[in-house]
């Protein structure tokens, strides 16, 4: 008779883990491994990295998952190696080579082209992407040999810096808005230079204010004792640190947690200037209560609430 090994019950874990995703892992694969190492009940990631890409993948656990959308909206920074003179079906190393051309471009030509792609630009999303059409990811159509029309999207390239050029390899630093495909950017740069290109390497080094230097690899995470793993978690409000703070007394905090809109004009509450998104704390113990919108006439409208039980 086979004895079944009992699985340890998962436990509530709350916070943000900065993971350095390895090459060859999908973002979901990396999340599943990290969730198992943390023995966590609930976890999610904050936007995918392609399997061939490496670098910063913030993972949200427990209550932090309520705020993962904020990092989806954040600017991202990458370093990338663009292989000039060779185009592939996917725009990266995972695809088949479509065309090869000689590379005869100078640093001056490269710098001129980079200027063309700095600032607000338009991109056509690649067929090999997770964008959906009629409920099916585009990459499924692409694998079936079907190419669909895609509308160009507005994105912003905040910074596009030349780090090194050793033909045919071009190393760049890219800081960009949400929705930017660095693969497409590399292909478009290659097309503008007249030789074509694909991405050889892609490494994400920053998401919003979160940086790669504070991340940990899956290998290192696995070797740590469980209690040490938990110490790596940033608090839930690490995802909200760019928003102004509102602190409420116990009575107002209770009403806020019940989802009530609060008129703070006559309350003794220090409010930030202007309107917009804020993070809300209970003043007596510093407990994060959630996020809210500070509206006209000093109305505080609850947005996402923390379970404080």
The catalytic residue positions are: 50
Burial letters 15-51, b for 16+ CB under 10 A, else e: bbbbbbbbeebebeebbebbbebbebeebbbbbbbbb
How far apart are the C-alpha atoms of 26 and 19, rounded to whole Å?
Answer: 13
Contacts of 243 (CB under 8 A, 6+ apart): 276, 277, 278, 279, 291
Whole-angstrom Cα Rg for the chain: 23
Do 109 and 193 meet the contact criterion of CB atoms below 8 Å apart? yes
Q: Which of 206, 168, 195 has the alpha carbon at shortest distance from 82?
A: 168
In this structure, are residues 277 and 229 in contact, taking their beta carbons and an 8 Å threshold? Answer: no
Query: Using CA atoms, how far apart are residues 1 and 39, in angstroms rounded to an integer?
Result: 29
Reduced to 3 states (helix: H, G, I; strand: E, B; else coil), residue 65 is helix
- The C-alpha atoms of residue 163 and residue 79 are separated, in whole angstroms, by 9
Q: Where are the beta strands (DSSP E) in the chain?
A: 15-21, 43-45, 54-61, 76-84, 86-88, 97-100, 119-123, 132-133, 136-137, 153-166, 169-176, 197-207, 210-211, 216-217, 245-248, 262-263, 276-282, 288-295, 299-305
């Amino acid at each position: 008779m086979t004895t079944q090994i009992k699985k340890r019950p998962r436990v509530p874990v709350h916070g943000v883990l900065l993971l350095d995703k390895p090459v060859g892992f999908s973002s979901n694969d990396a999340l599943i491994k990290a969730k198992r190492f943390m023995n966590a009940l609930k976890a999610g990631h904050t936007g995918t990295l392609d399997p061939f890409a490496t670098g910063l993948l913030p993972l949200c656990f427990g209550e932090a998952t309520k705020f993962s959308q904020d990092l989806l909206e954040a600017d991202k920074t990458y370093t990338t190696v663009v292989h000039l003179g060779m185009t592939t079906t996917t725009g990266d190393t995972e695809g088949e080579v479509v065309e090869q051309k000689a590379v005869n471009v100078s640093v001056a030509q490269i710098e001129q082209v980079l200027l063309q792609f700095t600032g607000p630009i338009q991109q056509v999303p690649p067929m090999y992407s997770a964008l959906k059409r009629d409920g099916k990811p585009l990459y499924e159509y692409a694998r079936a040999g079907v190419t669909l029309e895609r509308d160009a999207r507005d994105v912003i390239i905040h910074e596009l810096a030349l780090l090194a050029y050793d033909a045919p390899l071009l190393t760049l630093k890219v800081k960009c808005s949400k929705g930017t495909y660095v693969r497409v950017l590399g292909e478009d740069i290659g097309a503008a230079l007249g030789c074509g290109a694909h991405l050889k390497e892609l490494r994400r080094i920053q998401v919003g204010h979160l940086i790669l230097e504070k991340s940990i690899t899956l290998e290192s995470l696995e070797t740590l004792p469980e209690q040490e793993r938990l110490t790596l978690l940033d608090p839930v409000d690490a995802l909200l640190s760019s928003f102004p703070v509102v602190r409420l007394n116990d009575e107002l905090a209770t009403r806020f947690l019940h989802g009530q809109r609060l008129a703070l004009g006559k309350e003794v509450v220090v409010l930030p200037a202007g309107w917009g998104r804020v993070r809300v704390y209970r003043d007596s113990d510093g407990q994060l209560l959630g996020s809210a919108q500070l509206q006209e006439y000093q109305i505080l409208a609850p947005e996402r609430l923390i379970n404080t039980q």
